Amino acid sequence: MSYSFTVTAATKDEAYALAEKEFDAVVAVQPNHATDKQPALANIDAALDLLSDDDAQDIRVSCNGSLMWVTDADVITGVSIAANAWYVPKTAA
C-alpha cells in the first residue's frame, strides 16, 4: 500500500495541519497506514523545523510512503516514509 500527497500553506503550522488532514484521508481509505501515520507526521514536522522562517513565501509539503508485506498485512516486511518541505511564491489571496 502506498500514498502520496502535497499541500501548500502560508505557515508551518498550517502546512502541518493540512498534511495531518491529508494523512487522515489516506488512513480512511487504507487503514493499514494508521501504522506509519505518526512516524510520517514526525518526519514532516522535522522537515518543517529545518526550514528558515520566510513570511514572504508559502510552504509546500510533499509526503509519500509505502508499507510492504508478503502474506499478512499485519506483518510489515518493508517501509518507506519520505517528506519534503520547501518555499514557493505566495499565492494570490
**H helix intervals, the chain:** 12-29, 34-50
Asked whether the predicted pLDDT for residue 92 surpasses 80, the reply is no
Task: Give which of 21, 12, 20 is closest to 57, Cα–Cα.
Answer: 12
Asked whether the predicted pLDDT for residue 91 surpasses 90, the reply is no
Q: How many domains does the chain have?
A: 1
Q: What is the pLDDT of residue 74?
A: 86
Q: What is the pTM of this model?
A: 0.92
Q: Residue 37's domain spans which residues?
A: 2-89
Q: How many CA atoms lie within 13 A of 3 on its CB side?
A: 27
- Number of helices (H), then strands (E), in the chain: 2, 3
**Interval 49-65 mean pLDDT:** 97
Asked whether the predicted pLDDT for residue 68 surpasses 80, the reply is yes
Asked whether the predicted pLDDT for residue 93 surpasses 80, the reply is no
